[in-house]
A and B are shown apart, each in its own frame.
Chain A
């Protein structure tokens, strides 16, 4: 079955520690995205990548970093510089062709920083 996987589903970290969230897709999509969602809020774009070895900052990139070494993978690192990292993190991918704006989302990782 094609889809997007994120792991782990729940993650707990101590303040000051970096943490990396995994995102893998087997949909053969070129574009991948990371969003952050806070309770009762919409999704805010952190980073996106349209092609391997290239990525761009979104609206709230400070305190985060990404890499795109393989088409299937787009890991997100939440660094200690992120002031309020506790949130629900969603990864998405799209085929990058224009006209539908359809993005396919993974199940998300809920990060809690203690």
Chain B
């Protein structure tokens, strides 16, 4: 089976940097994805790592270490609108491109 662990809550100050960690256990690993979800809204795709290393997309970066079964999402220059839940996800074992999601990290950005 699969399991993903991420902190349930994180609080950070506007303008600061925050890191959200994710450790995973899965058979047949293909990559680690990150999604953002505002309250009551739909998840939106942020990033995907298939290989070790850092992927940067504007203020957001994502890191993967396959040997450690670990990844993180890094948010820089935090803005109030970044307050949301962040989910890491891995692909299911059937290879059908369906995703298994973690329980999410709720980020609160304070002034």
Binding site for B on A (CB under 8 A): 31, 33, 35, 40-45, 48, 50, 56, 58-59, 90, 94, 96, 98-108
| B30, A43: Cβ atoms closer than 8 Å | no
**Chain A residues near B48 (CB, 8 Å)?**
100-102
Residue on B nearest A98 in the bound complex, by CB: B97
A80 to B57, alpha carbons, bound, how many Å? 45
| A42, B101: Cβ atoms closer than 8 Å | yes
**Chain B residues near A33 (CB, 8 Å)?**
98-99
| A42, B42: Cβ atoms closer than 8 Å | no
Which residues of B61-111 have CB atoms within 8 Å of chain A's CB atoms? 87, 89, 91-92, 94, 96-104
| B87, A108: Cβ atoms closer than 8 Å | no
A33 to B98, alpha carbons, bound, how many Å? 8
A100-B48, A101-B89, A102-B48 as given contacts; A43 in contact with B41, CB under 8 Å: no
Please tell me the number of chain B residues within 8 Å of chain A, measured between CB atoms: 25
| A41, B104: Cβ atoms closer than 8 Å | yes
A43 to B43, alpha carbons, bound, how many Å? 10
B11 to chain A, nearest CB (A): 16
A99 to B48, alpha carbons, bound, how many Å? 9
**Chain B residues near A102 (CB, 8 Å)?**
33, 45, 48
**Chain B residues near A96 (CB, 8 Å)?**
97
| A and B contact pairs by CB, cutoff 8 A, 22 listed | A31-B97, A33-B98, A41-B104, A42-B102, A42-B103, A42-B104, A45-B100, A56-B94, A90-B43, A98-B30, A99-B31, A101-B31, A101-B33, A101-B97, A102-B33, A103-B43, A103-B99, A105-B42, A105-B43, A106-B42, A107-B41, A108-B41
